[in-house]
Amino acid sequence: MTDIKSLQAERDQIFNDFYNYRLPKRLPVSAMFGAPIIAQYSNVELTDAQYNFKLLKEGAEELCERVYSDTCPISIARASTRFASFYQLLGAKTFKMSSSGFMQHPNVEGMLVEDYEYFIQDPYACIIERVIPRLFKNLDPSSSADIAKTIPMAMDSNTADTADALSFIKPLIEKHGYYLGAPAGSGGFTAAPYDFLADQLRSFSGISKDIRRNRTQIIEACEALYPLMFNLGLPANPSLLGSVGTPLHMPTYMREKDFAEVWLPTYKRLCEEYASLGVRVSAFCEHDWMRYLDILTELPAGMVLRFEYGDPQTIKDKLGKKFIIGGLYPLELLKKGTKQQVIDKAKELLDIMMPGGGYMFGFDKGPLVLHDINIENYIALTEFVRDYAVYPNAGESYGTPLNSEQFSFDLTDSLKIKSKYMHNWDEFKQENPFTPDFAKAKFEKYDMNMFKFYLNLFV
């Protein structure tokens, strides 16, 4: 047990050094296996596991024994997980379980062109009144009875599934001495306003038409959405060890002019205002962002930029001193390459990205199913990175710290969600005059929890 605690303390120190701009003794290794991989590895039907995650306990334990990782590699209960029961109870069109048990996201359109005007006036109201009933049939206000039973059942289901997953993940962290993670309340998840608008509101095909026909309305819609996206991801307890995740979907499908003038302004503002509060943004730059590298240099220092594709040396040269870089190792090689090819590619990438610090080893994309990887190659890779990615000058400072620009903003507009559906304390106080003023924070917390329930349906 003493050895395990020492290993855990070492891992905690490695992450603490890395995210506080000190070269760690070595790069941390983070393997990650979601429910589909664990189910296939365990010969458990994923359709069964979706309703009883404890069926994955044995396979999860075996993977932890076989695959080296400094963080717990079992990711069932992380924010990216979409539990089948939750979406089925809501009658969701946004995420549907396939015959294999995998949760799929079809191209859906919850917001119509004619909704733009109302959306710009009150995006939260538009989402509740128009978008949600179209995409979640059991939340249709025409049937108040359905809503009355659906929301508490869905929330209970989500809580229970999370607890089932955590019931064996927490013991794995203790048994293997994995990194304990960032402080509670220091992380979050949100979306670039344009991506939120595109992903499940207007759909990919819809937004692609709108950018040509309704350009001004998109810009106004992104501005109207901004306070919602800001509050959705805002951590309660900012820390350099935590971050707000933002998967960036749409830019590589856009013209550079549209990217710079329509997509970028609200996302850049989001990153800058978060930085002013000591909140680090972690962005996954999906697809190939090479044509945007110069524009990315305008984002706040200290962000994490994880890349799917691109030339590592160019990315390192242009962005490596200002940002923490992640990704770029080709997942496909784990499936098709020999063990030596897997190791040689890791050495090549590390030799480019490690000097000077600021690189977090990672894949270009996360494996979704067991077929995406050769498990023996995966084992060889993580052990190689652990042993090779060592800094002889550990402890030296690197990079450009978060908010080096010393951003300072009046965040009144960003923090205030103006909607008829948000709790109005003044009106509440008039109706309930004996309520003490200190209760205001309690009611606003309840209001924010409900806001996040509805917005999280779309991210």
Residue 429 has pLDDT above 80, yes or no: yes
CB-side neighbour CA atoms (13 Å) of 31: 29
| Cα 355 to the center of its chain, rounded Å | 27
Contact 63, 33 (CB under 8 A): yes
196-210, 294-308, 335-349: least confident range: 196-210
- pLDDT at residue 78 tops 90: no
| Inter-residue contact 402 to 68 (CB < 8 Å) | no
- Mention every residue, 6+ apart, whose C-beta is less than 8 A from residue 155: 453
pTM for this predicted structure = 0.94
Task: Decide if 38 contacts 56 (C-beta within 8 A).
Answer: yes
Q: What Cα–Cα distance (Å) separates residue 173 from each residue in 17, 24, 72, 429?
A: 20, 21, 6, 46
**Of residues 197 and 2, more confidently modeled:** 197
- At residue 80, the pLDDT reads 46
- What percentage of residues in the chain have a pLDDT greater than 90? 85
- Residue 425: the pLDDT is 94
How far apart (Å, rounded) are the C-alpha atoms in residues 335 and 92?
A: 33
Say yes or no to pLDDT of 256 above 90: yes
Q: What percent of the chain is predicted at pLDDT more than 70?
A: 98
145-196 pLDDT, tens digit per residue, is 677 788 889 989 989 998 888 888 889 999 999 999 999 999 999 999 999 9
Segment 373-406, tens digit of pLDDT? 999 999 999 999 999 999 999 999 999 999 999 9
Asked if the model's pLDDT at residue 79 lies above 50, the reply is no
Query: 103-104 and 96-97 as β-strands: parallel, antiparallel, unpaired?
Result: antiparallel
Spatial contact of 207 and 263, defined as CB atoms under 8 Å apart = no
- β-strand pairing of 281-288 with 244-248: parallel
117-122 own/partner pairs: CB under 8 Å, 24+ apart: 117/217, 119/221, 119/224, 120/217, 120/220, 120/221, 120/224, 121/224, 122/418, 122/419, 122/420
* Torsion angle of the four alpha carbons 77, 82, 88, 89, in this order, in degrees rounded to the nearest 10: 50
Looking at mean pLDDT, say which of 96-105, 138-147, 406-415 comes out highest. 406-415
The DSSP letter of residue 263 is: I
* Cβ-contact 83, 166 below 8 angstroms: no
In this predicted structure, the answer to whether residue 414 has a pLDDT above a threshold of 60 is: yes
- Say if residues 186 and 237 touch (Cβ distance below 8 Å): yes
pLDDT at 224 over 70: yes
